[in-house]
A and B are shown apart, each in its own frame.
Chain A
Amino acid sequence: MIVAEQKKLDEILRMVAPYERVLILGCGTCVTVCGAGGEHEVSYLHNALKVAQRKSGNGTHALSEYTLKRQCDPEFLDMLAGRVEDVDAVLSLACGIGVQAVSERFRQLPVLPGVNTSFMGMPKEWGIWDERCAACGDCRLAETGGICPITRCTKGILNGPCAGTKSGKCEASREMDCAWVQIYQRLEGLRQLDSMRRYYPPRNFRVIPRPRRIVAKSTAGGNDGQVAA
């Protein structure tokens, strides 16, 4: 799931400063799960902004709040139509996708990001999230015992461990496990250590064509039973 973190309040305050009427827009999916932009956080931010206004003494913003089930689907965004007419900006607490989706749907409206979209990951426990996937587009987890070296090794090397590993920890941080030691141990348990002995040629991430697009649907052919690829 996408994990995000709410931006610092002073940055948010600077962003919203030019606008009088601001809609704080939450998203009910990923950012709700990671506690960055669900209904709870929308309400908290709303209150925090009001405290800020009270403190500065120039309460000029008219704030409103609203939470969509998902901001990254146009059909959900249709539900916003009546609500954005009388606002000057939308402060979206969705991930970067949601912010862009709202912006694309309501082109006349400034859409401000309220969170920093951080990574794709999972919770370690309540209140702690870890990155797990880099969306590299070429998954090799079958060969690495289900542990991704690209996200979990600081260097992201494909043939590890490097010389910086010590007692199973990474040289970059003693708190951090060396991903390649973990891969080794996992493969050992799976009796697949021969995977370690293979060499994986370096990948050129620069050639990934961006933006990527996945086309699942086919272009329909004629009525003669043929389907174009």
Chain B
Amino acid sequence: MSSATAGGIRTQTETRPKKAPCDHSLMPPCQVACPLHMDIREYVDLTAQGRIMEALQVIRDGNPFPSICAHVCTHPCEDACRRGQVDAPIAIRAVKRFAVEFGGDRMIRPEAETSHEQKVAVVGSGPAGLACAYYLRKLGYPVTIFEAHSELGGMLRVGIPQYRLPREVLDTEIHRLTSMGVEIRTNARVVSIDLLLEMGYRAVFLTIGAHQGLKMGIEGEDSPGVIDGATFLREVNLGLKPSLGEKVAVVGGGNVAIDAARTAVRLGVKQVKVLYRRSRAEMPANEEEVSQAEEEGIAMVFLAAPTRVRRRDGHLEVTCIRMELGEPDAGGRRQPVPVPGSEFQERLDALITAIGQAPQAPGSFGVRLGRGSTIQVDPVTMTTNRAGVFAGGDAVTGPATVVEALAAGRRAATRISDYLQHRYPLPEKEALDSLAGDLRPETVEAIRKIGRFEWETAPAEARAQDFAPIDLVYDWQAAISEARRCLRCGMGAEILAQDRCATCLTCLRVCPYHVPQLDQAGSVQIPVDQCQACGVCVVECPARAIVLRKPHDRRHIDRELDHIVQTAVQSNTKPLVIGFCCQYGLFGTGSLAGLWRKAAGGISIVPVLCTARVEADHMLRAFEAGAEGVFIAGCGVQCARENTDFWVQQRIAKVRRTLAQLQLEPERLQFFTTTAGGNGDMGQRLEAFAERIGTLYLASVLIQEVQK
């Protein structure tokens, strides 16, 4: 800020920057971890305020098919969430699912206009293909999707069981694509890229997935009764009902193995085992899925692998061997080593092998293949060795997650557009620097512990009966309570101008989390990786040198207050009561917001994002604007932050002293908080307050009349 140059002089008007201030916030770990780099912090914060529609808007901006991710995402964001260092990570996927279902995502119909002539063919309709088609269509290209199966969705349809992703969710998303004008060709297996190019397609995106189950390479693997996991899931998902018998074992420790085992249970198999050659800690499958599978009665047999399969009397005689963990390999995973002489026999009706899958690109495509028959591409441009032919998704990476495929599809759309417009493909730029570093133990210590709000899951016995979806969605209050746990990583406070800082150390003394520190040079530093963005130091700084990193947060209350004051002046409300009300938690749910509206008299609400950010100045300005009474309404013991009430009370005490010196009744300024059990009798207290202000106002009017 130029006004804060030598001399540190500025006026109030100069503090208002002419142009939009810069966003100094850092990209939080959740966003960094998300392959789509979704603005998770933002939509979680909006959810915490009960602004679900806006949250959904943010979600839609970053994800073409949010409802799919809301069901099946492996949520790398939650693994990166730093709340996990305090108690448990934010249930980001569940919050998103709530936003998607309650925000009315089904109603949203994106529109697209054709602004380019070059046609693009997308081969395969898995998540990567769908995402690519979506974004290409948004960019204005005519897009055709070619799908070998009778229905769209790729692995979303033939790989993921219905209990994890209900088919109507998938259908809704696909319908959205068709309504955008994407041409769909099902039952159309592409055998030649040359043909596509001859048909006039100027670019081709290969996203054929990885559907070919890998072989174990053991004797008897091709016996009847042995089936690979991907094929098994495909058959079930396409409506077939393979008969498995009563005893089934699944070989593998990945998500496909778990999906196959749980699907087998749902087909009525009495006894399902999972054989995995390493131990539970090395299992690549999602932990949550594994424990749910165990609840459904699936037995996990660790450190065991089949070595031979024999078919005898309509059964499978499977010889297995025990393993032990040896030295870690190059990837850091400990390699299983067979224990000699530890063979044991299993008598099974069917054996499902789910030890991995590979893509199966026909040789006629003429694209260069790499390790594990994946298609080789340039990692930046996503181009194959053939001009105009791009590839992405599992076909390139090997089996990966839905969200990674969506990210690949989105990137491919940009790259294909670059190619068609003869633009040099610039590397993707991150708008913000990313936040790194763990929370310090003393910061963790100071953060209020609030456990994760669990959503209801159908009981194991009931859900093992059929393919009905099993995760039930959050209710309104649980979703908001969960979202409030967010630590707002990377959007905390910063000393905007060190030369204005008087190094008074107020921030060090007031911070509830002991974040600000003195460096060796004697300057105060607020480490961005520790700050919880509570705003206490911003308000208390006597030199006004500290601001919040997000421009929106900086003058939020001022803007809202100005707006309320303008409205009140126009409507000539008398007596005017202004309340600064926290928007988080219960207040955001609308249940408390209703109270203010019901209350007698003209109560105007200034929405604030935590009462700790309300300055004594704001309270005075409300009086100055003509308010007869002012109140602050906060979350009290339900606040997700520390010490909020203490600071509000300090400021209220100061303003009350000032009011008293001005012969104004200090009771004109009040503080209301919710109690542990809910909002308590806040409605009544507010009613009484409004009434009292009404009386004071009448009295003052009378006195004025008498004086005249």
Residues of chain A at the chain B interface (Cβ within 8 Å): 8-10, 28-29, 32-35, 38-41, 43-44, 46-48, 50-52, 54-55, 64-69, 76, 79, 123, 125-127
Knowing A33-B502, A51-B620, A126-B506 are in contact, say whether A65-B541 is a contact too (CB < 8 A): no
Task: Determine the chain A residues whose CB is within 8 A of the CB of B502 once the complex forms.
Answer: 28-29, 32-33, 38
Shortest Cβ distance from residue B19 to the other chain A in the assembled complex, whole angstroms? 22
Shortest Cβ distance from residue B339 to the other chain A in the assembled complex, whole angstroms? 65
Shortest Cβ distance from residue B442 to the other chain A in the assembled complex, whole angstroms? 18
Task: Determine the chain B residues whose CB is within 8 A of the CB of A64 once the complex forms.
Answer: 11
User: Nearest B residue to A35 by beta-carbon distance?
Assistant: B542
Task: Determine the chain A residues whose CB is within 8 A of the CB of B503 once the complex forms.
Answer: 33
Interchain CB contact under 8 A, B509 and A125: yes
**A55–B664 alpha-carbon span in the complex (Å):** 9
Q: Which of A8, A32, A65 contacts B542 (CB 8 A)?
A: A32
Q: Which of A33, A79, A125 contacts B504 (CB 8 A)?
A: A33
Task: Determine the chain B residues whose CB is within 8 A of the CB of A69 once the complex forms.
Answer: 6-9
Answer yes or no: B327 CB below 8 A from chain A CBs: no
Task: Determine the chain A residues whose CB is within 8 A of the CB of B620 once the complex forms.
Answer: 44, 47-48, 50-51
Answer yes or no: B419 CB below 8 A from chain A CBs: no
Task: Determine the chain B residues whose CB is within 8 A of the CB of A8 once the complex forms.
Answer: 661
**A44–B510 alpha-carbon span in the complex (Å):** 19
CB<8 Å pairs between A and B, sample of 11: A8-B661, A9-B662, A35-B504, A38-B542, A40-B617, A43-B12, A51-B623, A51-B624, A64-B11, A68-B7, A68-B8
Task: Determine the chain B residues whose CB is within 8 A of the CB of A40 once the complex forms.
Answer: 541-544, 617
Q: Which of B506, B662, B663 contacts A48 (CB 8 A)?
A: B662
Task: Determine the chain A residues whose CB is within 8 A of the CB of B234 once the complex forms.
Answer: none
Q: List 6 A-B pairs, minimum CB-CB distance, nearest first.
A: A33-B504, A38-B542, A69-B8, A47-B620, A9-B661, A126-B509
Docked complex: B637-672 residues within 8 A CB-CB of A:
650, 658, 661-664
Task: Determine the chain B residues whose CB is within 8 A of the CB of A10 once the complex forms.
Answer: 661
Task: Determine the chain A residues whose CB is within 8 A of the CB of B9 once the complex forms.
Answer: 66-69, 79
Interchain CB contact under 8 A, B11 and A66: yes
Task: Determine the chain A residues whose CB is within 8 A of the CB of B662 once the complex forms.
Answer: 9, 48, 51-52, 55
**A11–B6 alpha-carbon span in the complex (Å):** 33
Task: Determine the chain B residues whose CB is within 8 A of the CB of A67 once the complex forms.
Answer: 8-10
Task: Determine the chain A residues whose CB is within 8 A of the CB of B510 once the complex forms.
Answer: 126
Shortest Cβ distance from residue B543 to the other chain A in the assembled complex, whole angstroms? 5
Task: Determine the chain B residues whose CB is within 8 A of the CB of A123 once the complex forms.
Answer: 509
Answer yes or no: B621 CB below 8 A from chain A CBs: yes
Answer yes or no: B24 CB below 8 A from chain A CBs: no
User: Nearest B residue to A33 by beta-carbon distance?
Assistant: B504
Chain B 487-516 per-residue mask, 1 if CB under 8 angstroms from chain A, else 0: 000000000000010111010011000000
Shortest Cβ distance from residue B198 to the other chain A in the assembled complex, whole angstroms? 72
User: Nearest A residue to B625 by beta-carbon distance?
Assistant: A54
Answer yes or no: B626 CB below 8 A from chain A CBs: yes
Shortest Cβ distance from residue A119 to the other chain B in the assembled complex, whole angstroms? 17
Residues of chain B at the chain A interface (Cβ within 8 Å): 6-12, 500, 502-504, 506, 509-510, 541-544, 616-617, 620-621, 623-624, 626, 650, 658, 661-664
**A47–B620 alpha-carbon span in the complex (Å):** 6
Interchain CB contact under 8 A, B506 and A35: yes
Interface of B is mostly: loop
Interchain CB contact under 8 A, B624 and A32: no
Shortest Cβ distance from residue A53 to the other chain B in the assembled complex, whole angstroms? 9
Task: Determine the chain B residues whose CB is within 8 A of the CB of A52 once the complex forms.
Answer: 662
**A75–B616 alpha-carbon span in the complex (Å):** 33
User: Nearest A residue to B12 by beta-carbon distance?
Assistant: A65
Knowing A43-B12, A65-B11 are in contact, say whether A38-B617 is a contact too (CB < 8 A): no
Residue among A41, A66, A67 with the highest chain B CB neighbour number at 10 A? A67
Task: Determine the chain A residues whose CB is within 8 A of the CB of B544 once the complex forms.
Answer: 38-40, 43
Residue among B6, B9, B509 with the highest chain A CB neighbour number at 10 A? B9
Shortest Cβ distance from residue B530 to the other chain A in the assembled complex, whole angstroms? 19
Shortest Cβ distance from residue B97 to the other chain A in the assembled complex, whole angstroms? 43
**A52–B661 alpha-carbon span in the complex (Å):** 9
Interchain CB contact under 8 A, A32 and B504: yes
Q: Which of B7, B509, B624 contacts A50 (CB 8 A)?
A: B624
Task: Determine the chain B residues whose CB is within 8 A of the CB of A34 once the complex forms.
Answer: 504
With A32-B504, A39-B544 known, 15 other A-B pairs at CB within 8 A are: A8-B661, A32-B543, A35-B506, A38-B542, A38-B544, A39-B542, A40-B544, A41-B542, A44-B620, A47-B621, A48-B620, A54-B623, A66-B11, A67-B8, A126-B509
**A79–B661 alpha-carbon span in the complex (Å):** 34
Interchain CB contact under 8 A, B542 and A44: no
Q: Which of A9, A44, A126 contacts B616 (CB 8 A)?
A: A44
User: Nearest A residue to B658 by beta-carbon distance?
Assistant: A48
**A79–B503 alpha-carbon span in the complex (Å):** 23
Interchain CB contact under 8 A, A44 and B623: no
Task: Determine the chain B residues whose CB is within 8 A of the CB of A48 once the complex forms.
Answer: 620, 658, 662
**A47–B544 alpha-carbon span in the complex (Å):** 16
Task: Determine the chain B residues whose CB is within 8 A of the CB of A50 once the complex forms.
Answer: 620, 624
**A65–B15 alpha-carbon span in the complex (Å):** 12
User: Nearest B residue to A52 by beta-carbon distance?
Assistant: B662
Knowing A32-B502, A55-B664, A79-B9 are in contact, say whether A9-B658 is a contact too (CB < 8 A): yes
Interchain CB contact under 8 A, A28 and B543: yes
Shortest Cβ distance from residue B316 to the other chain A in the assembled complex, whole angstroms? 74
Task: Determine the chain A residues whose CB is within 8 A of the CB of B6 once the complex forms.
Answer: 69
Task: Determine the chain A residues whose CB is within 8 A of the CB of B658 once the complex forms.
Answer: 9, 48, 51
Task: Determine the chain B residues whose CB is within 8 A of the CB of A51 once the complex forms.
Answer: 620, 623-624, 658, 662, 664
Task: Determine the chain A residues whose CB is within 8 A of the CB of B623 once the complex forms.
Answer: 51, 54
Interchain CB contact under 8 A, A28 and B8: yes
Shortest Cβ distance from residue B218 to the other chain A in the assembled complex, whole angstroms? 71
Shortest Cβ distance from residue B594 to the other chain A in the assembled complex, whole angstroms? 31
User: Nearest A residue to B506 by beta-carbon distance?
Assistant: A126
Interchain CB contact under 8 A, B542 and A54: no
Task: Determine the chain A residues whose CB is within 8 A of the CB of B661 once the complex forms.
Answer: 8-10
Residue among B504, B509, B664 with the highest chain A CB neighbour number at 10 A? B504
Task: Determine the chain B residues whose CB is within 8 A of the CB of A79 once the complex forms.
Answer: 7, 9
Task: Determine the chain B residues whose CB is within 8 A of the CB of A55 once the complex forms.
Answer: 662-664
Shortest Cβ distance from residue B495 to the other chain A in the assembled complex, whole angstroms? 14
Task: Determine the chain B residues whose CB is within 8 A of the CB of A39 once the complex forms.
Answer: 500, 542-544
**A54–B9 alpha-carbon span in the complex (Å):** 28
Knowing A33-B502, A33-B504 are in contact, say whether A54-B624 is a contact too (CB < 8 A): yes
Shortest Cβ distance from residue B453 to the other chain A in the assembled complex, whole angstroms? 34
Shortest Cβ distance from residue A74 to the other chain B in the assembled complex, whole angstroms? 13
Shortest Cβ distance from residue B613 to the other chain A in the assembled complex, whole angstroms? 14
User: Nearest B residue to A48 by beta-carbon distance?
Assistant: B658
Knowing A8-B661, A47-B621, A54-B624 are in contact, say whether A33-B542 is a contact too (CB < 8 A): yes
User: Nearest A residue to B542 by beta-carbon distance?
Assistant: A38
Shortest Cβ distance from residue A103 to the other chain B in the assembled complex, whole angstroms? 19
Task: Determine the chain B residues whose CB is within 8 A of the CB of A54 once the complex forms.
Answer: 623-624, 626
Shortest Cβ distance from residue B558 to the other chain A in the assembled complex, whole angstroms? 11
User: Nearest A residue to B704 by beta-carbon distance?
Assistant: A57
Task: Determine the chain B residues whose CB is within 8 A of the CB of A76 once the complex forms.
Answer: 7
Task: Determine the chain A residues whose CB is within 8 A of the CB of B10 once the complex forms.
Answer: 66-67
Interchain CB contact under 8 A, A28 and B500: yes
Task: Determine the chain A residues whose CB is within 8 A of the CB of B616 once the complex forms.
Answer: 44
Shortest Cβ distance from residue A116 to the other chain B in the assembled complex, whole angstroms? 15
Residue among A47, A55, A123 with the highest chain B CB neighbour number at 10 A? A47
Shortest Cβ distance from residue B587 to the other chain A in the assembled complex, whole angstroms? 26
Task: Determine the chain A residues whose CB is within 8 A of the CB of B617 once the complex forms.
Answer: 40, 43-44, 47
Shortest Cβ distance from residue A143 to the other chain B in the assembled complex, whole angstroms? 30
**A33–B658 alpha-carbon span in the complex (Å):** 21
**A51–B623 alpha-carbon span in the complex (Å):** 6
Shortest Cβ distance from residue A51 to the other chain B in the assembled complex, whole angstroms? 5
**A51–B622 alpha-carbon span in the complex (Å):** 9
Shortest Cβ distance from residue B151 to the other chain A in the assembled complex, whole angstroms? 64
Shortest Cβ distance from residue B665 to the other chain A in the assembled complex, whole angstroms? 12
User: Nearest A residue to B620 by beta-carbon distance?
Assistant: A47
**A48–B619 alpha-carbon span in the complex (Å):** 10
**A40–B662 alpha-carbon span in the complex (Å):** 20
